[in-house]
Structure formats: structure tokens, C-alpha cells
Chains A and B, each alone.
Chain A
Amino acid sequence: MAVNNIVEIKHLTKIFDDGKNNVKALEDIELEISEGSFTSIIGGSGCGKSTMLRIIGGLENNYQGDVIVNGEKVNSPSREKGFIFQDHRLLPWLTVKENIRFSLPKEQKKNDELIKKYLALVGLSEFENALPKQLSGGMAQRVAIARALANKPKILLLDEPFGALDAITKVNLQEELLKIWQKEKITMIIVTHDIDEAVYLGENVVVMTPRPGRIKQIYKTDLGTPRLRTGVQFTKARDEIYKEFFKEAEVPFSYNI
């Protein structure tokens, strides 16, 4: 095993079997992710993106093959593997500050400095005493990011974290996420539907195809940092991936509702 790979996936197959139906969500996935990198996973609905991310995060078990994160076979979630869900998943009855405190390990529970530091990092210092219902969707998702980061994860897994946000908030949060990535040097994997987002954020873009879920292609974007959304390189990388998709979508559409 290469030393600098934080994630190593070999021959990963995942079948959901509820007794009546069985769905092959992932088939023979091979993926290596190096420490400190930013990877995007993109693909149509139902191609197993979430399933793969959840397996890496230890939220999904009973898979075939090897999934090794940080040198250990994954079989349960942990603070090391930060997970950002599509919904912010803040506890509605706790204030912003208490939500973060709730997530912290025992020895850090009283560490107000830590909480303040990460709230400041996502620009929400003034909202420490707000309840989740008082926050906008974007703010709540930033708190969720602060909560994950305060637990000092080795790797941060994001499952369509900005999917429910408006375009402007989304771009702002993408910028923030990139800054955090540079500053904290955490390995990040983001699952998204959005080609621009995938290309802009990911150094590697993993393109997946459905039925069964497989990795079709892995692109290197080489946009460098800071990135440009308007540069030639961005457009080129994006176009390649667009083509990849629209070849794919010539297959008659079936709507997944």
C-alpha cells in the first residue's frame, strides 16, 4: 500500500438486499485517494455516489472488497472521517454553539475556544447562540462544516452539501470550502450532481455511471490554487466532462423520481 494514500478501495461491490429485491449499487470499484487531495465524485442519480461515500465514511456496511481509510479497514463511522450530509443535520433544540459542543470528544467538551475558532472560520461568530431555525440554509450548512472540522477529521466527506442552496450561496460556500481545504490541509471528497462544482473543487473528478454503479473515468483538472472559474483550463476540463456525460445520456432517459 502506498504510504500517501489515505483512501484505498479495491474490488468494492455493494449489493442492497432487503430479502425481496437486491440492487447492485456498486460494482468492482477501484479508487485511490492521496492524502490532502480534493476529489469530486459526479454521476447521475442512482449511480451509487452516496453509497460509495457512505461506505468510506463507515455508515454503510456489508460490502465486498477492501475499503481502507487511514490504514484501517472501514467498518464504522468515526470522528476522523467527517461527514457532511445534504441536510445540515443540526439538532433543532441546541444552539449553534451547543450543537458543536455536542459533537466534540469528552476531553474537548469544555473547550469554548475551539468552538469559537471554527465558528469564526466559517464566519458565524455572532450566531453562536442562535437556534438552527434562525439560520438560513447556507448558514446552517456552514455550522455543519464547522462542527465537522472542530472534530479534527483526517478526511472530510461531503454528500451534495450545497445541493439545496441557491446559486449565489453555493458559489460562496464553494470558495469557503476551498479556503478551508488549503488552510486545514484535510483530504476532501465531495459528491455532487453539478459538473461546474465538481470541476471547480476537485483536483480529481471521478465520473460514475449507473446500473450497476461503476467508475467510468477519473479526470485530473490541474486548475491549481487559487482557481479561476472563467479560465481556459476550467472550461476545457468542464467540456471534457460534459461530453462524457452527454454521450452517456443518449441512452433513453428513464426518470427516477
Chain B
Amino acid sequence: MEEKNKKGIGYLLLYITLPVIILIVWEGFNQAGELKPYTMPSLAKLFETTVEYANNGQLFENISVSVLLVLEGFFLALATALIIGMLVSLFPKFDIFTDLVIQILKPIPPIAWIPLAILWFGIGQESKIFIIFIGAVFPIFLNTVDGVKTIDKKYFELAKVYEIPRSQLIKNIVIPGALPSIMTGIRVGLGNAWVSVVAAEMIGATKGVGYMLSNGRSLSRPDIVILGMLLVGIFGKIMDDILKFLRRKVITWL
């Protein structure tokens, strides 16, 4: 799947065909006079708004607010998920101890936490970081546990033959063995974090890409809404690309 033919003009052409078609159809509707400014902007209007937002600094400000929140919530989730995931994997008693609570919390979507988060933390940064944390922590945790669980038992047998101490076992078998799965969890977790920030900012915020969406709607400015959506999409893709790149750098043995 990732082995797309990265070279060649044919690849590039195929890669951009669909976006070009979408733009052409969009402009076609505009030329035909089908677009109303309060439901769907023309491409020109969208471009104009983008330039305006870029020049007055709102573009940068909204993105940086959201990205910063995502990073804070995500790294908090990463640390928590790795620690609890390892504890659950290594200590069966801890697994039993925590299992029921985790199983019940897991199906609750991050947006369902928004009301409680606002009651607890208000509509400031903390409540958003909390929502992002909830969104990211479960996939990373579950993939960590699963990654350790699916390590081939034969490696543990090998470790017994060579009388490998527990610390070495964790460093040289448990962590690298679980790493591919952990990386998958991180990708899903970061994706969820990004979705969560948008949801949280749409409900109560004065900045951020989620705020652009809700603000655009209340102003009946679809151009602002679509610009916000595109930012969410583009930054989501960039983050995912960075993680794919990291995965390739870190996991060299597969």
C-alpha cells in the first residue's frame, strides 16, 4: 500500500487528477450561477479569504493554537498509555485490577466527555487538553498491550535459555517486539487527538481551527468554514506523514 510508485510523471498525473476534477466541477457550478455566497463560496472567494486570513495573522494563530493543544494532550496521553500499557502487560494482577474500568471507559467517545470536561475545567485550555488526552490515550494503550501480547512466545523461551535478566528482557524483547504495534497506536492516537481538538473547539473556544468552523457557521460564511476544514485535513495529513516517516526510521527490521 505504501509502496506507491513514487517516481514518474504518470504517477504524479494520476495523483492530482481527482483534486483537479473536483476544482473544475466546483468552478463549473460557480460559472453556472449555482453557488450562493451563504451556502457555498466560489473558489475565488475561498482564495481571497485564505489570503486575508494569512495576512492578518488569523490563519497562523488558529492553527498554532490547535496544534499546540494537540501536542500537549497527545504527549500526556502517550506517556500515560505507555506506562499503564506496560504495567498491564507485565503484571497480570494489575491487568485484572484495571480491566473492568478500562473496558467501560474505552467505548465512550471523546466528544461524550466534552460536557463533563467543561463542567470540570471550564472552557479554557485544560478542558481541551483533557478531551484530546481521552481521544489519544486509548488507542495507544490498547495497541501497547496488544503489541506485547502478540510477541512470539519463542523469544521468551530463548531468553530463558540465555538466563536473560528481566530488565534486559524488557529492553531487548518486550519494547522492540511491541514497537510496531505501539507505532500503529500512536498514529491512530494522534489522528484521534486532532479530531478531538476540532470537536472541543467547536463547542467552546475563541481560537483554533474548530473555532473557525463554528464561527464561520454563525457568520454564515461558508468560505471560513471550508478554509477551516481544509486546514484540519491538511494538517492531519502532515502529522500522519511525519509519523509514517518516523516509523520507517525507527522500525528498520521489518
Contacts and interface: CB of A to CB of B under 8 A. Distances in A.
Contact of A92 (B160, B164, B253): B253
A79 interface: yes
A93 B77 CA distance: 26
A76 B163 CA distance: 10
Nearest to B176: A93
Contacts of B36: none
A59 B160 contact: yes
Interface in B150-186: 154-155, 157-158, 160-164, 168, 172-173, 176-177, 179
Interface string A88-130: 0101111000000011110000000000000000000000000
Contact of B163 (A57, A85, A94, A105): A105
Contacts of A87: 154
Contact of B161 (A77, A92, A93, A133): A77
Nearest to A133: B253
A79 B162 contact: yes
Contacts of A89: 154-155, 158
Interface residues of A, number: 24
Most chain B CB within a 10 A radius of its CB, from A79, A89, A133: A89
A91 B160 contact: no
A105 B155 CA distance: 17
A151 interface: yes
Given A85-B154, A87-B154, A92-B254, A79 B161 contact: yes
Interface residues of B: mostly helix, strand, loop or mixed?
A: helix
Interface residues of B, number: 19
Contacts of A132: 253
A133 B253 CA distance: 7
A77 B176 contact: no
Contacts of B164: 102-103
Interface string A61-102: 000000000000000111101110101010111100000001
A78 B177 CA distance: 23
A132 B254 CA distance: 10
Contacts of B154: 85, 87, 89
A84 to B, nearest CB: 10
A78 B163 CA distance: 6
A160 B173 CA distance: 25
A131 interface: yes
Contacts of A103: 162, 164
Q: Which 6 A-B pairs have the closest CB atoms?
A: A93-B176, A103-B162, A92-B253, A93-B253, A77-B161, A77-B160
10 contacts: A59-B160, A59-B161, A77-B161, A79-B162, A91-B176, A93-B177, A93-B253, A131-B252, A131-B253, A133-B254
Given A79-B163, A82-B161, 10 more contacts: A59-B157, A76-B160, A87-B154, A93-B251, A102-B162, A102-B172, A103-B162, A103-B164, A104-B162, A133-B254
Interface of A: 57, 59, 76-79, 81-83, 85, 87, 89, 91-94, 102-105, 131-133, 151
